[in-house]
Chain A
Amino acid sequence: MTTSFTGPERHDHSEHQPEPGDHGRQGSDLINLGDGHHEGSGALPERFENPGLPEHVHRLGDDDPAAAKRSERQVASLFGVSMLATLLFVISYIVVGKGEIVTLPLIGATKALHVALGVTLGISLLCIGLGAVHWAKTLMSDTEVVEERHTLRSPDEDREGTVKILTDSAESTQLTRRPLIKYSLGGALGLFVVPLGLQLVGSLGPLPHDNLGVTLWDRKLNGKGRRLMRDPENTPIRLSDVTLGSVFHVLPEGIDDVQNPQDAKVKAAVLLVSMQESDIKNAKEASWGIQGVVAYSKICTHVGCPVGLYEHTTHHLLCPCHQSTFDMTNDCEVIFGPAKRRLPQLKISVNDAGYLVADQGFQEPVGPSFWERA
């Protein structure tokens, strides 16, 4: 076993074969990255030599039985504490009530059972770990061991043998000589995943068709436009209810009667806002609303979060997901953030009974952009 190397050895390692007793020493200790820079150094080696492992320094406990005994007691105490903590875990599990609350410094009021179980389990595990590591560090042998490496490359004999088996097999199957089999086999193997893939992908879901483009507002209820209903109270809204500065969360009438209310809500959710009519800068916006009361899709045109924050003074709508900001005074145009498109407006009117209704659905798809929407 050598621990230091006798200067740089060079051999072209592509020709170097591992031999018994030689562990492929090609590389580390030489740096043939171009010569000529260090010339004239006489007999000095080109690189420093690896001095080998330093002297092993003994620990206190290696020579002093009292210190070793101390370590033993420390390790045993840690294991003892672990057992105690485990016992406490079991007791807490049985004794502490589900609803009991404790107030801890820094952490505040928490469930007593949860904290008791967490802390006792933690201590019981931690002490096993600390004990084991302490034991390894103080009492087990700390002399370093050296293991030799071997090049990973297989001996040429094995490599050639492998190749030979493969070529022999190709030969005996006559694969090379019978292209008909070769190509038909390739085709069959290539196609066998098709049934499996088709079954899986084909059955995962229905095709989208125009589903992304329609909302419940498009579907008349008993031949009439749907009324705007407060969410979640599910009550219709009179124009006079929408006093200046109000913001209402709105869903279409009859949403709970459809097959999948959640799916319908995602697209049909609307914000109803009342502003000073003179604040509205956009003519279409004003005409699709009534006396400064306008309705806009609540679904962000970025990736579809509900637009949740409304600033009364500026009439800005802010999406909490990535901070896209829409200006309600100007047809909900994007004034900041990653969204590109305006929020779609819902045209509203007042029906005979004085309630707000939508005579037509949104005139463009709501929510995130998708390939077919354009």
Chain B
Amino acid sequence: MTSDAHTGTGRPADALRGDDETSTAPKKKGGGAVGGVANWMDERTGGAKGIRYLMNKVFPDHWSFMLGEVAMYSLIILLITGTFLTFWYVPSMGETIYHGSYTPLQGQQMSEAYKSTVDISMDVRGGLLIRQIHHWAALLFLVAIMLHMFRVFFTGAFRKPREINWVIGVLLFMLAMVEGFAGYSLPDDLLSGTGIRAAQGFMLSIPVIGSYVAYFVFGGAFPGSEIIPRLFTVHVLLLPAIIMGLFAAHMILLIVHKHTQFPGPGRSDHNVVGFKLMPVYTAKAGGFFFIVFGITALISGLVTINPIWMYGPYEPTMVTAGAQPDWYMGFADGALRLSPGWWEFTLLGHTFSLNVMIGAILLIPVIFTALGVYPFLEAWITGDKREHHLLDRPRNAPTRTAIGMGFIAFYFVLFVASGNDIMAITLHLSINDITHVMQASIFILPPLVFWITKRLCMSLQRSDRDLVLHGKESGRLIRTAEGRFFEAHTPLSEHDRWRLVSYETHRPIAAPTEADSNGVGRRQIAKDKMRARLSHFYFNDRIEAITPAELAAAHHDGQAFESIESAEDGDRLEIDSDEFDHHMHGGAEELSSGHAYSHPQDQEPS
């Protein structure tokens, strides 16, 4: 890292072309008022060095990089609007009688928390808008985090050196969910009260300490008078502080690592191609903040969310039909709905409430742990210890992409299951049938989606290879001497081709042989075997990028031309291989399991 500090003054190459070196640090004296202030500050803080470094940072441009920005901006919107709300919201479960301007609730007994939320919605000018922006931003925040995570996953951006940031991101996602649940509970309306009620039931299901946990969290029996004030502290102080800390760490690491970029001509693992923070990126990103905020405000003004005045205050003996949590908690709710009752049993005089515990207590930590360890698992399997700054196109990592899609399928089934009652009503189906189908889907769908995705990725890779070998169809017909027709293909330009041929493919590592295992402990052998098996699972089916030799061979065989009839036959690859003897030489290959290559480059002696 010290080298970075030195290069602040004389970076070897900030620009490919000489004509865009414009930024200069404010000079001593001169530069008008800005220069004066900057000089004053710099002489007291020495900040110019760091600021210059930051402003010169280069950010690559890709639409998917905006997902993380959306998350960041919604977080800022949440901080602003949440702070506003604290000025009117009263975090108390003390009972009062409503006398505000909303007539349907006149004279009703309710908690102060509920009353103040109704007041914010009805009597504070613009209060409803702030509440609505806060809630919509919360929903958007979680959507953005999740999509951002998918982007990082499917492009392999979590690989070395970014594993720590991946783990921080996973933590942020989990905390954001909890934060959202805490906030959702604060109005103490009938809907959210039912949610807290269920949460107490979840706690009770924990073996051994369940009832203690519940009584400590609630300060006694449910509902008591403590839970809302406590959730308030959690929601406005504890979790925001932790989230902001992790968020800051996330950003610092981002700056240290610099952005990843998609592969392309001129881009490599050793550079970043994009726009400097000042001015282009600042203008775009700053502008984008206002766009996100503006859209959130528009939606909030037009589409009502969580109209708590319609639900009424929380009353433990009442419940609304179709009780549903906010979307990001849906999957856990769905898991509860799919768990069969027989998972609960008694043993040795104690109740094991697994029908509740698995979905409500274990699922979230298990999923997030699995997410958190994935980068380390993949790195172990590949043995790849290099730094990666170029992203993978998802198709070029078929097994990883397929695992991700399988996981999404799993999540999706749970999410859909949380609407089984709504589906039953709208589709006029039996809720029993729907639930049974979902119970089966949770086991069938993820492997199926895995398999389909992997095949799909590989056929995309195959068509990439075809494109490199045969070029683009030019639409120009050529007649041969024997009277057959060919369509001339224009070869790809060097730049277009690079996008398709620059990726790398791992090969499965060989299982340890007897000779290898001499003098190695049993545990180590078992580990090596496991690793070899996983590596086989990941990389046995693979399609490698075209090499110059393959391209040359293909051209030599005359494959720049292609028979039209055979192209119409659909599976070009197979037909070609009949027609041109050497085709397979240049075509896709799916290597059989016999080909276990070790790749010493990637395995550091350990």
Residues of A within 8 A of B (CB): 1, 3-5, 10, 13-14, 18, 21, 23-34, 38, 40-41, 44-48, 50-54, 56, 93, 98-99, 104, 107, 110-111, 113-119, 121-133, 135-137, 140-152, 154-155, 158, 201, 204-208, 211-212, 231, 249, 251, 260, 262-263, 265-266, 269, 298, 302-306, 308-309, 320-324, 334, 336-341, 367-374
Contact = CB atoms under 8 A, between A and B. Distances in A.
22 contacts: A28-B269, A41-B552, A53-B273, A54-B266, A117-B301, A118-B129, A121-B301, A122-B295, A125-B294, A132-B284, A140-B280, A140-B283, A145-B14, A145-B16, A150-B3, A201-B216, A207-B215, A303-B201, A322-B336, A323-B431, A371-B206, A374-B350
Given A34-B597, A47-B547, A136 B212 contact: no
A114 B215 contact: no
A50 B502 CA distance: 8
Given A54-B266, A132-B283, 14 more contacts: A28-B268, A32-B600, A115-B301, A127-B294, A145-B14, A147-B272, A148-B13, A148-B270, A152-B257, A154-B2, A260-B221, A306-B316, A322-B337, A369-B356
Contacts of B206: 371
A150 B494 contact: no
B304 A110 contact: yes
B16 A122 contact: no
A47 B291 CA distance: 44
B205 A370 contact: yes
Interface-central residue, A116, A136, A266, A367, by most chain B CB under 10 Å: A136
A14 B604 CA distance: 8
Nearest to A29: B268
Contacts of B287: 128-133, 135-136
Interface string B1-34: 1111001000111111101100000000000000
A30 B286 CA distance: 38
Contact of A369 (B220, B344, B431, B546): B344
B316 A269 contact: yes
Contacts of B350: 371-372, 374
Interface stretch (B149-157, B363-371, B385-393, B405-413): B385-393
Nearest to A27: B386
B61 to A, nearest CB: 8
B300 A118 contact: yes
B219 A205 contact: yes
A365 to B, nearest CB: 10
A72 B64 CA distance: 28
Interface-central residue, A25, A52, A99, A338, by most chain B CB under 10 Å: A338
Nearest to B601: A32
Query: Nearest 8 A-B pairs (CB), nearest first?
Result: A118-B301, A303-B201, A132-B287, A126-B294, A41-B549, A129-B290, A122-B298, A53-B266
B211 A372 contact: yes
B274 A132 contact: no
A148 B198 CA distance: 53
B424 to A, nearest CB: 9
Given A33-B601, A146-B273, A5 B268 contact: yes
Nearest to A154: B1
B3 A18 contact: yes
A142 B16 contact: no
Interface residues of B, number: 153
Nearest to B257: A152
Contacts of A204: 216-217, 219
A interface: dominant SS: loop
A206 B222 CA distance: 12
A185 B226 CA distance: 39
A44 B272 contact: no
Given A53-B273, A152-B1, A303 B202 contact: yes
Interface in B255-313: 256-258, 265-276, 279-280, 283-284, 286-304
B104 interface: no
B272 to A, nearest CB: 5
Contacts of A13: 386
Contacts of A334: 341
A211 B173 CA distance: 36
A263 B344 contact: no
Contacts of A321: 194, 198, 319, 323
A33 B319 contact: no
A212 B3 contact: no
A115 to B, nearest CB: 5
B208 interface: yes
Contacts of A269: 316-317
A121 B129 contact: yes
B284 A338 contact: no
B316 A262 contact: yes
B216 A205 contact: yes
B280 A141 contact: yes
Contact of A370 (B15, B353, B420): B353
Contacts of B548: 41, 44-48
B211 A370 contact: yes
A372 B13 CA distance: 69
B297 A370 contact: no
Nearest to A89: B126
A371 B351 contact: yes
Interface in B356-376: 356, 359-360
B298 A149 contact: no
Contacts of A34: 507, 597-599
Contacts of B420: 323
A241 B21 CA distance: 90
A306 B318 contact: yes
A263 B275 CA distance: 60
Contacts of A117: 126, 129, 301
A126 B298 contact: yes
B355 interface: yes
Nearest to B291: A129
B340 interface: yes
Contacts of B286: 132
B339 A338 contact: yes
A101 to B, nearest CB: 13
Contact of B344 (A46, A130, A262, A341): A341
A34 B322 CA distance: 59
Contact of A1 (B13, B126, B290, B344): B13
A368 B17 contact: no
A263 B222 contact: yes
B487 interface: no
B601 A340 contact: no
Contacts of A337: 337, 341, 435
Contacts of A44: 547-549, 552
Contacts of A323: 337, 420-421, 431, 435
Nearest to B56: A147
Contact of A147 (B57, B101, B279): B57
B125 A149 contact: no
Nearest to A135: B283
A115 B129 CA distance: 8
Contacts of A149: 258, 269-272, 389
Given A98-B123, A114-B301, A371 B498 contact: no
A266 B294 contact: no
A266 B196 CA distance: 12
B597 A33 contact: yes
Nearest to B357: A369
Contacts of B506: 33
B590 to A, nearest CB: 13
B221 A263 contact: yes
B162 to A, nearest CB: 10
B466 interface: no
A86 to B, nearest CB: 12
A136 B283 CA distance: 6
Contacts of A52: 265-266
Given A117-B129, A147-B57, A269-B317, A208 B214 contact: yes
Given A128-B290, A147-B58, A50 B14 contact: no
A207 B210 CA distance: 11
Contacts of B266: 3-4, 50-54, 146
